[in-house]
């Protein structure tokens, strides 16, 4: 089991919140699970290090729980959009280090951006984008939207790129795209030479403008 010394709090214990709690706990992290539903808290207590019935839309509650001392707080509240937004606002005003929030729609996403949420996740949209990219092009190993119009992807070198050098690849000559790493077998290079000749199965890990990435991937 991997062990994490970081402290996490998860507010909202629906399917999404519980899945996060379980994964963090499996990694050995200290997790505080919070919900207003006593039954959900009871279920979470069997998984995490601590589970509490509490309403985090109340400033005093957040202060009592000392959430500002946690490395990261995930707001995974489901259908109650108002509660999710208010909780995010209270946490940011309480100077919580890092606040991630699950958003249900674009309206909530925009409000959370203005509040200053550090990371906004739309699970169904994010998964849909990743699955669609995998369906459209087998060369795309992984694709993740980062928000703010940015994305990161892993591209597998196939017949069309094989034999080219990194400096010859049109994708990497675009100012809006950056090569983060080059992987061949078990070896990962963050600053590979520009004259690196590509072989079948090599992996390019790139990031940049989501629109540019999607367009360039189609032309590979």
pLDDT of residue 1: 42
125-219: CATH architecture: 2-Layer Sandwich (3.30)
pTM for this structure? 0.60
E strand intervals along the chain? 7-11, 30-35, 50-53, 72-75, 99-102, 119-121, 140-147, 150-156, 177-184, 187-189, 203-209
Q: Please, which residues bridge with residue 203 across strands?
A: 156, 183
pLDDT digits (tens, 9 = 90+) for 55-111: 999 999 999 999 999 999 999 997 888 999 999 999 999 999 999 999 888 888 899
In the three-class reduction of DSSP (H, G, I as helix; E, B as strand; rest coil), residue 201 is classed as: coil
- Which burial class, exposed, middle or buried, applies to 200 when counting CB atoms under 10 A from its CB (0-12, 13-18, 19+)? exposed
The residues, any chain, with a CB within 8 Å of residue 31's CB and separated by 6 or more, are 7, 8, 9, 10, 21, 24, 25, 47, 48, 49, 50
Q: Taking 60 as the threshold, does the pLDDT of residue 128 lie above it?
A: no
How many C-beta atoms lie closer than 10 Å to residue 136's C-beta?
A: 13
Residue 213, pLDDT > 80, answer no
Domain residue ranges in the chain = 7-121, 125-219
Q: Which of 102, 147, 154, 105 is nearest to 133 (CA)?
A: 154
Q: Which CATH number, 3.40.630.10, 3.90.1150.10, 3.40.50.720, 1.20.1250.20, labels domain 7-121?
A: 3.40.50.720
Give the CA count within 13 Å in the CB-facing half-sphere of 130.
Answer: 16
pLDDT tens digits for range 1-13: 444 578 999 999 9
- Between 158 and 24, whose confidence is greater? 24
The total of other beta-carbon atoms located within 10 Å of residue 90's CB is: 22
Q: What is the largest CA-CA distance in the chain?
A: 62
Backbone angles phi, psi at 176, to 5 degrees: -90, 0
Q: How large is the C-alpha radius of gyration of the chain?
A: 21
Q: Which residue has the higher pLDDT, 24 or 218?
A: 24
Instruction: Express each pLDDT in 98-111 by its tens digit.
Output: 999 998 888 888 99
Question: Is 165:195 a contact under the CB 8 Å cutoff?
Answer: yes
pLDDT for residue 149 = 76
* Phi, then psi, of 34 in degrees rounded to 5: -130, 135
**Residue of 163, 170, 148 whose CA lies nearest to 218:** 170
């Amino acid at each position: 089991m991997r062990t994490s010394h970081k402290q996490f709090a998860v507010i909202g214990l629906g399917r999404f919140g519980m899945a996060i709690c379980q994964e963090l706990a499996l990694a050995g992290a200290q997790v505080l699970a919070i919900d207003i539903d006593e039954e959900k808290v009871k279920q979470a207590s069997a998984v995490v290090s601590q589970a509490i019935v509490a309403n985090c839309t109340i400033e005093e509650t957040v202060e009592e729980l000392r959430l500002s001392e946690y490395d990261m707080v995930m707001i995974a509240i489901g259908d109650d959009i108002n509660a999710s937004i208010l909780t995010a606002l209270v946490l940011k005003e309480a100077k919580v280090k890092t606040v991630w929030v699950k958003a249900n729609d674009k309206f909530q996403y925009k409000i959370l951006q203005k509040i200053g949420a550090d990371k906004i996740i739309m699970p169904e949209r994010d998964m849909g984008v990743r699955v669609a990219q995998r369906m459209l092009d087998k060369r795309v190993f992984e694709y993740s939207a980062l928000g703010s119009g940015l994305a990161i992807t892993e591209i597998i070198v196939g017949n069309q790129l094989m034999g080219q050098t990194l400096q010859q690849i049109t994708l990497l000559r675009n100012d809006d795209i950056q090569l983060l790493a080059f992987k061949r077998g078990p070896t990962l290079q963050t600053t590979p030479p520009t004259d690196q000749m590509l072989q079948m199965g090599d992996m390019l890990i790139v990031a940049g403008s989501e629109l540019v990435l999607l367009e360039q991937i189609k032309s590979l």
